[in-house]
Amino acid sequence: MDEQGGITVQRALELPGLRGGLPEVVAGADRLHRTVRWVHAGEVPNIASLLKGGELLLTTGLGLGTRPAEQRAFVRRLAERGIAALVVELGPRFSRLPATIVETARAAGLPLVQLHREVAFVSVTEEVHTEIVNGHYALLRQAEEVHRRCTGAVLGGGGVPQVLGILADFAANPVFLETADGRLLYAAGTDAGPPACADPLQVWDGLRGQRESREAGPPAGAVLVDVPGGGPAGGPVRARLVVPAVSGALRPVHRMAAERAAGILAVVLMQARQEEELAARGRGDFLTDLAEGRITAEDAPAQARVLGFRPGDGPLLPVVMRLSPEPAPSGNWALLARVVLEELAGVGVPVLLGVRPVEGRVPLLLGLRTESERTAVADRVAAALRAGVARAGLADTGPGGAGGARGRGGQPPAVVVGVAGGWAAASAGLRHAAEAASAARGLPDRPWHDARRLDIDLLLWRLRGHGEGAALAAFVDRAIGPLREHDRTSRPPLLPTLETYLAHAGRKAETARELHLNRQTLYNRLARIGDLLGTDLDDPQTVLALSLALRARRHTP
């Protein structure tokens, strides 16, 4: 058996069938280590076209031709096809192989053997094929032994590092688990091989440099096996197993073992993802119970410590992100929690983050040192949340909105930051931020919203939720209906002008600057708005009603 689990030409010649023919190697004696993939017997001149490569060809020479040119062409075609060796039985056709055939085989590097006694080709075929099958079975047994050891490690409480370590020892090469986009997740080294391979992270850095320099895929000779995200039965690629040929060449048995290890890793990762999601949901349940008053301010610190949250004596900052209510694939919420925590690692404050998939909500509590940190921490948290949404596949990527991530419904996530305070304030702050995040859906996108500035939107949202949607719609129609009708049929639209004017509290210079209009054009538009609505835009009551109508418009059909 050769190192690939097959049979070499040398081993085939030692089997009883060919050994009884008194084989004599007349060319390519230095290439008898070639692997025999299959055995074929034939006597036709065009037999090379029937082969795929790797065959041990048995013949009596009837198809070799009688002229030297025919014989040279016959041997060259076999060499080009990549057969393992040519075995010619001497007899009626040749008493000894012609020099032309021998010299051509020698020049082409093709092992050429002549048999001095007659053999039964069918017996040779059976013997060699049996040896090949036995070789492959031996490889399978080795790979299955790796699978058995990996399974035992997992059942014994081990995880990804233990599985990678078993595979690394078997392959005598370092093993890496990377994400689908090439980021390193885990690494395992091996005691075998040169000292330079002892540190797998150094090997990884070197391999990464090679990839970047040649802008190509894996290093030559490496084994790459995808780890599916949906368990061993399939699913999208969740990770990739990489075994580079650093300490020595890799053989087919190493690929077999890696494929079996990948199946176990898929189960391990899926289990970890489920456990991770359960933990994230558990934290989300705690924060929701705190917000809804089911956990008192006195009991909350002890329960938070059990969840790993130790904020210190500073104020607590409640934050809530609201995503599209459309369902996301199972496991993406756990991934979201993990990547957001990774993004927040550099913020330097304690974080308790949970998920509430049913509501499409991500609540957080952060431990501040002082109230003055609120804005800076809110900026970092909002950026981390948006980056996590994109990385977890819970948003469409593309332009629009801060961070360029939009929810699956086409809207960007709404991040709302509440009022900082103690545990009693955190309860009300989380509840306020959660409701404000729901009310903020549809507002112009910004990195984060201050919950204190969303109270009017929250009031309007609550009115709609309490069966007052028709009354809100009627109010909007009375207040700005003529403008909406105008904008459906005429240009330029006037609602954006009114919205900007009110946002700047009636300051015409700032309004004109933001709209990129000259003063007279703005005055003309405002006059037209006043005529259509039959109101005075300088009247405080009118301004209040119009401001409310513009906000209520987002909560009506």
pLDDT of residue 72: 93
Q: How many CA atoms lie within 13 A of 375 on its CB side?
A: 1
Please tell me the least confidently modeled range out of 150-159, 209-218, 242-251, 358-367: 209-218
Residue 357 banded pLDDT, cuts 50, 70, 90: confident
Q: What proportion of the chain, given as a percentage, has pLDDT over 70?
A: 87
Question: Is 15 a residue whose pLDDT tops 70?
Answer: yes
End-to-end CA distance of the chain: 75
Question: Is 551 a residue whose pLDDT tops 90?
Answer: no
For CATH 1.10.10.2840, the residue range(s) in the chain are 464-555
Which three-class secondary structure state does DSSP give residue 55?
Answer: strand
Average pLDDT score over residue span 537-542: 84
Distance, CA of 165 to CA of 176 (rounded, Å): 10
pLDDT tens digits, 113-129: 999 999 999 989 998 88
Rg (CA), the chain: 37
Contacting residues for 128 by C-beta, under 8 A, at least 6 apart: 7, 12, 15, 17, 36, 39, 56
Count of Cβ atoms closer than 10 Å to residue 400 Cβ? 13
pLDDT of residue 232: 39
Tokens linked to 490 = 């005429």
Can you give 486-517 as a three-state secondary structure string?
Answer: HHHHCCCCCHHHHHHHHHCCCCHHHHHHHHCC
For CATH 3.30.70, the residue range(s) in the chain are 296-453
Measured N-to-C along each axis, helices 160-171 and 252-291 cross at an angle, to the nearest 10 degrees, of 170
pLDDT of residue 66: 87
pLDDT of residue 542: 83
Average pLDDT score over residue span 519-529: 90
Count of Cβ atoms closer than 10 Å to residue 429 Cβ? 26
Most confident region among 167-176, 200-209, 267-276 by mean pLDDT: 167-176
The overall average pLDDT reported for the chain is 83
String of b and e for 145-176 (b: at least 16 CB within 10 Å)?
Answer: ebbebbbebbeeeeebebbbbbbbbbbbbbbb
One of 2.170.130, 3.30.450, 3.40.1000, 3.40.50 is the CATH number of 158-271, namely 3.30.450
pLDDT of residue 399: 38
Which three-class secondary structure state does DSSP give residue 311?
Answer: coil
Question: Is 393 a residue whose pLDDT tops 70?
Answer: yes
Name 228's bridge partners.
Answer: 237
Tokens linked to 190 = 């091996």
Distance, CA of 479 to CA of 542 (rounded, Å): 9
Q: Which helix (H) or strand (E) holds 57?
A: strand 55-59
- Spatial CA neighbour of 28 closest among 93, 97, 116, 121: 97
Q: Which amino acid is at 67?
A: R
Higher pLDDT, 205 or 383: 383
Q: Which residue has the tokens 């049979």?
A: 7
pLDDT tens digits, 40-67: 998 999 999 889 888 999 999 888 888 9
The CA angle 171-174-180, to the nearest 5 degrees, is 105
Report CA torsion sign: 304, 309, 314, 318.
Answer: negative
Contacting residues for 322 by C-beta, under 8 A, at least 6 apart: 359, 360, 361, 413, 414, 416, 434, 437, 438, 440, 441
Q: What proportion of the chain, given as a percentage, has pLDDT over 90?
A: 29
**The 38-41 sheet, strands edge to edge:** 23-27, 112-115, 85-89, 55-59, 38-41
Please tell me the least confidently modeled range out of 114-128, 236-250, 324-338: 324-338
Average pLDDT score over residue span 185-192: 77
CATH number given to 464-555:
1.10.10.2840
Residue 233 banded pLDDT, cuts 50, 70, 90: very low
Q: Beta strand pairing status for 395-397 and 351-353?
A: unpaired
Question: Is 191 a residue whose pLDDT tops 80?
Answer: no
Distance, CA of 218 to CA of 208 (rounded, Å): 9
Count of Cβ atoms closer than 10 Å to residue 218 Cβ? 15
Count of Cβ atoms closer than 10 Å to residue 114 Cβ? 23
Distance, CA of 271 to CA of 306 (rounded, Å): 22
Q: Which helix (H) or strand (E) holds 112?
A: strand 112-115
- Spatial CA neighbour of 41 closest among 124, 142, 154: 124
CATH number given to 7-131:
3.40.1390.20
The answer to whether 253 touches 139, Cβ cutoff 8 Å, is yes
Average pLDDT score over residue span 65-70: 90
For CATH 3.40.1390.20, the residue range(s) in the chain are 7-131
Average pLDDT score over residue span 14-18: 91
Distance, CA of 298 to CA of 91 (rounded, Å): 101
Q: Which CATH architecture has domain 296-453?
A: 2-Layer Sandwich (3.30)
Distance, CA of 7 to CA of 39 (rounded, Å): 11
Question: Is 193 a residue whose pLDDT tops 70?
Answer: no
Tokens linked to 481 = 């209906």
pLDDT of residue 234: 43
pLDDT tens digits, 73-106: 999 999 999 999 999 999 888 989 999 999 999 9
